[in-house]
Structure 1
Amino acid sequence: MNSQTKTTSMTPHALDSQMQGILEQQKFAYQRYPMPTAKERIDRLARLKKILVKYQDQIAEAINQDYGNRSIAETKIGELLTCLEHIKYYSKNLTGWMKPSKRHIGIIHQPAKGWVQYQPLGVVGIITPWNYPLLLSMGPLICALAAGNHAMIKISSASANFGRVIENALSEAFPQELVAVINGGGAVSDAFCHLAFDKMIFTGSTNVGKTVMAAAAENLVPVILELGGKSPVLVHPSIDLHDVAQRLAVGKLWNAGQTCVAPDYMFLPKGKTAEFTEHFRNCVQQMYPSIQNNPDYTSIINDKQYNRLQGYLEDARNQGATLTEINPKHEDLSGVRKVAPTLLSNVTPDMDIMKNEIFGPVLPIMEYDQIDDVIDFINSRPRPLALYYFDFDQARADYVAQRTHSGHFGQNTVLTHVAQDDLPFGGVGASGMGKYHGPEGFFSLSHERSVMSNPKLYSLKFILPPFNKPIHKLISKTLLR
């Protein structure tokens, strides 16, 4: 394979020029061979799988270094395994998706034929966040390769160690004209957003998403935005709170809550906070009997994010919230940049923690009397990336689902829908636009090109002017009514 030019030591201006050069190189390569076969696409996915397996230990360790402490098992199970399953899924299904879709042709245009062809778009730009750097770079890349595209991947500057490893790994698997990795931050990120891709996928915050979309608009680049927001949890009075606590503990504490679809805040039936807190505490203590030097409990990515979370907690405490910190051995965590699992009660909507996405192992709790009041509260706020409802009664779950909007609706489960190959992933409203994963990933990164073919017989000649022929009277009597 052709080796890629290393980007980490270049100045932003030089890298800007290099990125433009890579884009032109990829576009030229695509135009030279614009429709790779299913076999070629499956081969590309197989090469990606092989290189991810080969470099899995280096990748996991690099992400661990970027975090200060990131569970190796979480990286391999939550990111690598999910990527490998995606590759298997797309390799199995893309041949069928590539087949033209036959469409109906109106009677006056017969005997013409019509169908839709699924063409690659060309070059896809992928902007990756730091929280799941492997999954959120390789997931879109898998979709792009399955759809026959070339790709440029911008790695977050907060994932510098990972960026170097994945740049080296992918350069071993693919020529730069097919897949290229860009590392760097600041001006580099801004320049990347302004490149004239054929489509762009951005995963990150809502505020940055607006900036990316504005930059893409300069070149009329369509954008898939995978944003975040505050994903609520609603618990029905009928359900066992131990089950809820166990499932929420896993979903909220995986990657220390630094997950875009993590449960952000919850509504419990009135009077149930103390009971839930006890169940949650027991679940946390079983999973994480210690925190400070526990390699399974992930650190907050950097000081900026750590201080942001501490600021939310301080603001909530000052406004009357009750904080319940679950730190089994009462360890000092400040030196390892870890935040103990924390529940907040007596929470009000005007606290900072209820105005902003938390992105940490902190769970505010509010109580309710009527479910309709909770539905009204959720509907009055920006539409979330996920909404989680706990209740084994399907009719009541359908009632909540039909009266709310969210990118995903999870019933009695949180977080794991992202790893489901056949489900689309994406937001709605402030939590994003566009979908990938599943068939939607293939079709989102394909051009649905309509094709119409006429035979030698040109049927429209029979209805050409002057419009006083018997055929026109027949059309008026049979079709225009």
Structure 2
Amino acid sequence: MSEAEAKQIERMKSLLATQRDAFRHERHRPIDLRKADLARIADLCRKNSDAICEAISRDFGNRARQESVIAEIAFVIQDADHTAKHIGKWAKTRSVGVPMTLMPGKATIRREPKGVVGIVSPWNYPFQLAMAPLVAALGAGCRAMIKPSELTPATAELMKRLIGEAFEEDHVCVITGGPAVGEAFSRLKFDHLFYTGSTQVGRLVAMAAAENLVPVTLELGGKSPAIVTPGYPKLSAAKSIGWGKFLNAGQTCVAPDYVMVPNGEERAMGEAIIKIAEHEFPESSSDDAYTAIVSDRHYERLTGMIEEARAGGAEILQAEHDAQAAQAARKIPPTVILNPPADSKVMTEEIFGPLLPVVGYSEIDAATNYVADHDHPLALYVYSTDKEMATRILDQSQSGGVGINTNLLHLSVPDLPFGGIGASGQGSYHGEAGFLTFTHERSVFATGKWHPSRLLAPPYGKFYETVSKKQMS
């Protein structure tokens, strides 16, 4: 560990103590102040959209501005506005019923902020995936420390400056640094830790948090399948799947990771997807609308997947491109891999790039059995004109979320919880689900000075017999 990292770790420990002290002095931040906090987030996004897009593009080598506006900045603005609109209702104390045997009395649930929360964000959507959890935390009345990915340093430094201008450090702060800082961050005694990233690192984060019994939300990933049922229009499916896959060059946790089509239709589907990609990105190697791969390591990993699949007998379809220019720009053209080996990396690891395996199935049950035999995916996409068929697939599968005849868009519906299940994550956020993630629902039962329950104390008599029979009936 370097001296600079050691100092940064000591600094974040000090900041945690400062935020804890501030929270003790304001355990119940008024709703109007929470709304003002959220307005600052939305205002920060609107006023600095160009700088945010430029920082993200610098980190990637090239990121389409349109993608950053829609998927990062506008998303956070919508989330902040939606939360501000509804937190008054979400935060209200709720009354619940009291059994006759416990009357008279009043039972309520107080929705209280958990306290100081930690947010660990990834590189693929470096702004949105830091700020959206922050929106939920601020809406709940918490204080927050954010640790962005070291793979997107320009975005991290910009967020640090913008957050520093909008909030006092005892309210919200950004911690930058490498893996050693990130590991130490995960071991801090937060009141809640929110992590977005790979399943492998997610396990380590959960283990680190467990040392202090810190509750965690894990937003992970997995291989999200798209199942195209017999008779569904190929062009329609290809347009939808291609858009979801090649947005951000496939570096999206809910991007379709592979496509399943009826046996014999693999090539037709693959060629349709490539044809549409060539129309959308006429020259992917030089088109600013097509995003680069974030790092040399990820580029090499993806090209290695292609070559392994090719060596295993798979056919590779790629959009027309200038190979040398693409390599120099660290871009991989839209790529379809027809029927790769089942044990190849492209079929066993989350891809996180513009590679799309297309595999055949004999019948729908075979497709759903394949999905069920693997880790539960973060998303499942079903393309079907038959509602009963779509429902059947949902009934035979498990996933974090579902898109029917579309993909990606389910995470943009403010009131739909977003999160995984099993290896794809635990917990959820967005809308009220995000508010509840950073909220403790505190149970309160109140009675008068005297309550009939005191007659249940020993020595047990007729009142006990009457009450116990009533409860057991």
**Structure 1 and Structure 2 fold alike (TM over 0.5):** yes
Q: Which residue of 1 aligns with 2:147?
A: 154
Q: Does structure 2 conserve the Cα–Cα contact (< 8 Å) formed by 1:233 and 1:266?
A: yes
Gaps of 5+ in 1: 1-8
Q: Does structure 2 conserve the Cα–Cα contact (< 8 Å) formed by 1:289 and 1:329?
A: no
Q: Which residue of 2 aligns with 1:93?
A: 86
Quick one: structure 1 residues 335 and 476, their matched pair in 2 at CA, closer, same or farther if it must change by over 3 Å? closer
Secondary structure of the structure 2 residue equivalent to 1:11: helix
Equivalent pairs, count:
472
Percent identity over paired residues: 38
Give the superposition deviation at 1:46.
0.6
State the Cα deviation string for residues 97-147 of structure 1 (Å, max 9, x = none). 111111122222211111100100001100010000111000000000000
Give the superposition deviation at 1:186.
1.8
Q: Which residue of 2 aligns with 1:76?
A: 69
Among residues 260, 264, 268, which one is paired with 2:257 in the alignment? 264
Give the superposition deviation at 1:477.
4.7
Q: Which residue of 2 aligns with 1:465?
A: 458
State the Cα deviation string for residues 40-91 of structure 1 (Å, max 9, x = none). 1001001111112111111110110000001111001111001000011101
CA distance in 2, matches of 1:453, 1:346: 64
CA distance in 2, matches of 1:43, 1:10: 38
Q: Which residue of 1 aligns with 2:466?
A: 474
Give the superposition deviation at 1:282.
2.4
Q: Which residue of 1 aligns with 2:50?
A: 57
Gaps of 5+ in 2: none
Q: Which residue of 1 aligns with 2:6?
A: 13
CA distance in 2, matches of 1:68, 1:476: 71
Amino acid at match of 2:60: Y
Among residues 433, 436, 440, which one is paired with 1:447 in the alignment? 440
Residue range with higher mean Cα deviation, 45-54 or 399-408: 45-54
Verify: 1:254 aligned to 2:260, yes or no.
no
Amino acid at match of 2:350: E
Quick one: structure 1 residues 473 and 291, their matched pair in 2 at CA, closer, same or farther if it must change by over 3 Å? closer
Q: Does structure 2 conserve the Cα–Cα contact (< 8 Å) formed by 1:342 and 1:362?
A: yes
State the Cα deviation string for residues 3-42 of structure 1 (Å, max 9, x = none). xxxxxx9701000100000000000000011001111100
Among residues 31, 36, 39, which one is paired with 2:24 in the alignment? 31
CA distance in 2, matches of 1:49, 1:468: 63
Amino acid at match of 2:467: I
Among residues 357, 362, 365, which one is paired with 2:358 in the alignment? 365
Residue range with higher mean Cα deviation, 139-148 or 392-401: 392-401
Residue range with higher mean Cα deviation, 136-145 or 362-371: 362-371
CA distance in 2, matches of 1:289, 1:61: 23
Secondary structure of the structure 2 residue equivalent to 1:373: helix
After superposition, residues 410-429 of structure 1 pair within 5 angstroms as 410-429=403-422
Q: Which residue of 2 aligns with 1:326?
A: 319
Q: Which residue of 1 aligns with 2:277?
A: 284
Q: Which residue of 1 aligns with 2:102?
A: 109
Give the superposition deviation at 1:329.
6.0
Q: Which residue of 2 aligns with 1:185?
A: 178
Give the superposition deviation at 1:456.
2.7
Among residues 114, 122, 142, which one is paired with 2:115 in the alignment? 122
Q: Which residue of 2 aligns with 1:353?
A: 346
After superposition, residues 202-221 of structure 1 pair within 5 angstroms as 202-221=195-214
Give the superposition deviation at 1:476.
4.9
Verify: 1:313 aligned to 2:306, yes or no.
yes
Q: Which residue of 2 aligns with 1:240?
A: 233
CA distance in 2, matches of 1:464, 1:358: 63
Length-normalised TM-score, structure 2: 0.97
Give the superposition deviation at 1:439.
1.0
Residue range with higher mean Cα deviation, 208-217 or 330-339: 330-339
Secondary structure of the structure 2 residue equivalent to 1:316: helix
Amino acid at match of 1:475: V
CA distance in 2, matches of 1:476, 1:137: 52
Amino acid at match of 1:118: R
Q: Does structure 2 conserve the Cα–Cα contact (< 8 Å) formed by 1:117 and 1:448?
A: yes
Q: Does structure 2 conserve the Cα–Cα contact (< 8 Å) formed by 1:285 and 1:328?
A: no
Residue range with higher mean Cα deviation, 398-407 or 270-279: 270-279
CA distance in 1, matches of 2:80, 2:3: 33
Amino acid at match of 2:472: L
Among residues 41, 64, 67, which one is paired with 2:34 in the alignment? 41
User: Runs of at least 4 residues of structure 1 off by over 6 A?
Assistant: none
State the Cα deviation string for residues 252-307 of structure 1 (Å, max 9, x = none). 00000000000001111111123223321221122111112211000000000000
Secondary structure of the structure 2 residue equivalent to 1:201: strand
Amino acid at match of 1:406: S
CA distance in 2, matches of 1:217, 1:255: 34
Q: Does structure 2 conserve the Cα–Cα contact (< 8 Å) formed by 1:267 and 1:374?
A: yes
Quick one: structure 1 residues 155 and 456, their matched pair in 2 at CA, closer, same or farther if it must change by over 3 Å? same
Give the superposition deviation at 1:331.
6.2
CA distance in 2, matches of 1:154, 1:174: 16
CA distance in 1, matches of 2:276, 2:323: 17
Length-normalised TM-score, structure 1: 0.96
Q: Does structure 2 conserve the Cα–Cα contact (< 8 Å) formed by 1:127 and 1:203?
A: yes
Amino acid at match of 1:202: Y
Verify: 1:231 aligned to 2:224, yes or no.
yes
CA distance in 2, matches of 1:83, 1:389: 27
Quick one: structure 1 residues 336 and 476, their matched pair in 2 at CA, closer, same or farther if it must change by over 3 Å? closer
Quick one: structure 1 residues 476 and 353, their matched pair in 2 at CA, closer, same or farther if it must change by over 3 Å? closer
Amino acid at match of 2:219: E
Give the superposition deviation at 1:328.
5.1
Q: Does structure 2 conserve the Cα–Cα contact (< 8 Å) formed by 1:346 and 1:366?
A: yes
State the Cα deviation string for residues 392-433 of structure 1 (Å, max 9, x = none). 211111111011010012111111222221111100000000
Secondary structure of the structure 1 residue equivalent to 2:242: helix
CA distance in 1, matches of 2:59, 2:468: 71
